[in-house]
Structures are given as C-alpha cells and as structure tokens.
Amino acid sequence: MDTLLTDLGHALLAAGLFFFWVSGLGLIRMPDVFTRMHAGTKATTLGALLTLLGAACLQPDWAAKLLLLAIFILLTNPLSASVLARAAYRTGTIGMTLKVDACAERDRAAAVETAETSATHTEPNA
C-alpha cells in the first residue's frame, strides 16, 4: 500500500508539472493578453492542485495544510484572472476580434438608456 501511494504521488506530481509546463507554453504561444491569461490561470490551477495532491500522497501528515492551500488556490486563481481580464478590457487592450462582444453591447445599451431617460426628464424652457 505504501508503494502504491508513493507511485500515485509521483504520478500526480509529474502530471502537475506537465500542466505547469503547458501553462508556460501557453503564455509564450498565445496571441493576445486574454488568451494568455486563460492559459495561465486554468492550466496553472490544475497543475497546482495536482502537485498538492501528489505531495499529500507522499506526505500524508501534510494533507490538512495542503487542503487549505488547494482551497485558497481554487478561490483566488479564477477571481484574479477575472479581475485582470476586466481591467485589460476596460483599458482598451486590443485582443482578438470578437464576433459578439456582449460587454460592449451592454455598455452601449446602458448609454442609450441613460440618454433616453435624461432626454425625457428635461423640461423645455418656456
């Protein structure tokens, strides 16, 4: 049983390292900031979780602390990616051409609605 857990731990560590490598490759090869961010956060999250799981298999005494680290990573990586993507979009970072830009359409609709409500609430001077 001990050798099975050790072998599983080494396999999970190798899988985690593979996903870290894929993440680094994605950061180099992707064309714009948004796809780089996607490659960087998704693969890194999976790589970190597999690495922590492998470490927990190799050192079962550390499992509770490694679980806390895994929860922290699961909560912070997607959130930070979302915040960075939103900031990049709002500052005008040029990404790949989108067929449908839901955020820009929502902003345009809000601007038109604001203009219409301000036009209907103004009273003409007599």
pLDDT of residue 97: 66
| Alpha carbon distance 16, 54 (integer Å) | 8
pLDDT of residue 125: 61
Average pLDDT for 37-60: 93
DSSP state of 91: T
Length of the chain: 126
Average pLDDT for 81-95: 85
pLDDT of residue 89: 84
Average pLDDT for 56-76: 95
Whether pLDDT at 114 is above 90: no
Give every CB contact of residue 8 below 8 A, 6+ residues apart in sequence. Answer: 54, 57
| 36 closest CA partner among 79, 87, 98, 95 | 95
Answering whether pTM is above 0.85, one says: no
Residue ranges of the domains in the chain?
Answer: 2-95
